[in-house]
Amino acid sequence: MKLLDGKLIAGQIKSEIATEVNENFLGKGLNPPHIAAMLVGDDPASKTYVSGKEKACREVGFLSSVYKYAANVSEEKLLEAVDFLNNDPEVDGFIVQLPLPEHINEQKITERIDPRKDIDGFHPVNIGKMVLELPCFIPATPYGIITLLDRYDIETEGKNCVVLGRSHIVGTPISILLSRKSKRGNATVTLCHSFTQDIASIASKADILIVAMGKQGFVTADMVKNGAVVVDVGIHRIPSEETKSGYILKGDVDFEKVSRKCSYITPVPGGVGLMTIVSLLQNGLKAAKKIIV
Ligand code: GUN
């Protein structure tokens, strides 16, 4: 078994981005790319993600801004904030960290983002362009998974790929990307969800298994084919007295047992999570270069 090392690949990509910032922006007297995040309320996971994004921006020489709002902020105020960032010429792209509080309509906020600044790729225009294989912002987690497969030269063409989970952020877009007529596409994809019957039997036939269910330890060794490639998108904080932080991170896959059966597997932490952040930086770079119009 080999690790699909998100830390290693994310590090390589960050250094490539840093070089590009130096040569093509600072070296030409241009401002570095500037990306922003809107953070509503104080969900600990959201705060962790946003501070991880800020740190990654610093590492590659991007400017970053975070706009923070109380959990009881009105939808109207958030829509105004989106308009402000849409019109701010200093900001190349931005995200609205999800989930938003219940009283806010996430779809309405997402649809207000200018698709040219939508570095999360969640706007219907970007989703539609992704389906049609047109240039667009690709959602960061699926983008990170495809990049990881690509950097390890894992063939997807003609392979049997099974995706567990159909979220708008991960499962649905990765199923589309893997089945598109493109490099690291051309796979036969099965998308499993809460109504799928006998997930274990479907998963056990996968050459490439992408797990994004949000259920800790859901995938056990009997659900994985010998030699399969396993990508674990899950991330769960488990209380632990053995760490300083008071928790350990676990994925949707029983890593210890599954790793003995497969050819490649992503660890948690150190796998997909770091690839998500670096993919957002890649989208930020595209936004700054005004490639997506
Ligand atoms: N919440 C969990 N993942 C994401 C993501 O990739 N982008 C945003 N905006 N919110 C998230």
**Domains of the chain in sequence order:** 28-114 (3.40.50.10860), 140-273 (3.40.50.720)
Tens-digit pLDDT profile for the chain (293 aa)?
999 999 999 999 999 999 999 999 999 999 999 999 999 999 998 999 999 999 999 999 999 999 999 999 999 999 999 999 999 999 999 999 999 999 999 999 999 999 999 999 999 999 999 999 999 999 999 999 999 999 999 999 999 999 999 999 999 999 999 999 999 999 999 999 999 999 999 999 999 999 999 999 999 999 999 999 999 999 999 999 999 989 999 999 999 999 999 999 999 999 999 999 999 999 999 999 999 88
Pocket test for ligand 1, best of 38, 47, 98, 127 (most atoms within 8 A of CB): 98
Residue with the smallest CA separation from ligand 1 atom 9 is: 97
CB–CB of 138/173 below 8 Å? yes
> Can you tell me whether residue 39 is helix, strand or coil?
strand
What confidence score (pLDDT) does residue 103 get?
98
For residue 28, what are the contacts with CB-CB under 8 A and spacing of at least 6?
none
What confidence score (pLDDT) does residue 77 get?
98
Distance 120 CA to ligand 1 centre (A): 8
What confidence score (pLDDT) does residue 293 get?
85
Note if 120 is an active site residue. Answer: yes
In the chain, the N- to C-terminal Cα span, in Å, equals 42
Residues in the chain: 293
CB–CB of 234/249 below 8 Å? no
Q: Angle at the Cα of 25 (from 23 to 31), degrees rounded to 5?
A: 150
What are the DSSP E strand ranges found in 135-200?
Answer: 160-164, 188-192
| Other C-beta atoms lying within 10 Å of the C-beta of residue 50 | 19
Distance 189 CA to ligand 1 centre (A): 24
Ligand 1 atom at minimum distance from 95 CA: 9
Ligand 1, CB within 6 Å, residue ranges: 95-98, 120, 140-141, 169, 276
Distance CA 41, CA 210 (A): 30
Ligand 1 atom at minimum distance from 276 CA: 6
Q: Which residue has the tokens 């200093």?
A: 90
